[in-house]
Structure 1
């Protein structure tokens, strides 16, 4: 007996679930980071390293569920970037908030570009307008994190807003996925 390969509809359902999970994670992550962002304690450090690892894991899940329709190359970039970001953050944590912001910012810029590439390739599935906006804003936010690192008031609180806004974009995409025209 042969098991049928997942088709495009299965991929959309899996992607919707993944986007909803990403929304829930971002909400929880931001809620935990915000009251602890004043200093780099153990919880904050763990949260900072966890975020790109969840991004990496989500890209792996996404790539596996996208095999039937073709895996967008940007997902492979997201996997690699998430791994490098986690390692970079572990190293940067010993050097203080400005170093963390530089690594976080560089990762956000590159991950935003990868997200844009993936979303543009998936336009036909619908729901990608929010992902295009999210990738674009990630690039801008990443640059602002790098600039903030050079200022006197370097703070991690912006990371909570970054995650929360990204989570909202995932929610919007999940709700719209498969429900738009190819032109929408």
Structure 2
């Protein structure tokens, strides 16, 4: 895999842009499936709850590996491991008690949001579009608190999480567009001001 120190900035920017667009597309499709197929099928709803954190784990791992490796990206590596554990925990919670999965998603949203925020802060000088990822990480942490608050009240799990996924998709889309349309070097000039 590419080493971030030797990867030319245009290639790194192109990779991040592609990843952000893929993550946005995945989340938009996930949201569409929740609003359509999952309403008719509890089995699909169950699969979607497991797939969401599993996909996040894969996306974080790919991001870390393509931007310098897992050692250079500890927050993303940790996020990948946590998302994997969340996918397993959600699977177990769906067998035991469906409502517990909202608590698990809430805790995960807080931790993964803070890790995403830390990653974006670390990348802000070298990569474009990170201000959007900072907002996304902060919003994720706040949403996690909301999920935890809703957990005891019998809130519908999938319907509660779908808004979070939709907002996350918009953040990834905006970040990808910022990378696409912002000229290289603009960030360095802004930081110098």
Of 150, 172, 181 in structure 1, the residue corresponding to residue 187 of structure 2 is 181
Q: Secondary structure at the match of 1:177?
A: helix
- Report what 1:59 is aligned to: 60
Contact 2:31 2:165 in 1 (8 A): yes
CA RMSD between the two structures: 2.1
Q: Is the 8 A contact 1:40 1:97 kept in 2?
A: no
Matches within 5 A, 1:100-111: 100-111=101-112
Q: Pick the aligned partner of 2:151 from 149, 152, 170.
A: 149
Unaligned segments of structure 1, at least 5 residues? none
Separation of aligned partners in 2, 1:173 and 1:42: 33
Q: Contact 1:109–1:141 at 8 Å: present in 2 too?
A: yes
| Range 124-133 or range 32-41, more displaced | 32-41
The aligned counterpart of 1:171 is 173
Where in structure 2 are there 5+ consecutive unaligned residues? 1-5
Contact 2:39-2:45 at 8 Å conserved across structures: no
Q: What TM-score, normalized to structure 2?
A: 0.85
Matched pairs, number: 179
Q: In the TM superposition, what is the alpha-carbon distance from 1:39 to its structure 2 partner? A: 8.9
Q: How far apart, CA to CA, are the structure 2 residues paired with 1:105 and 1:25?
A: 20
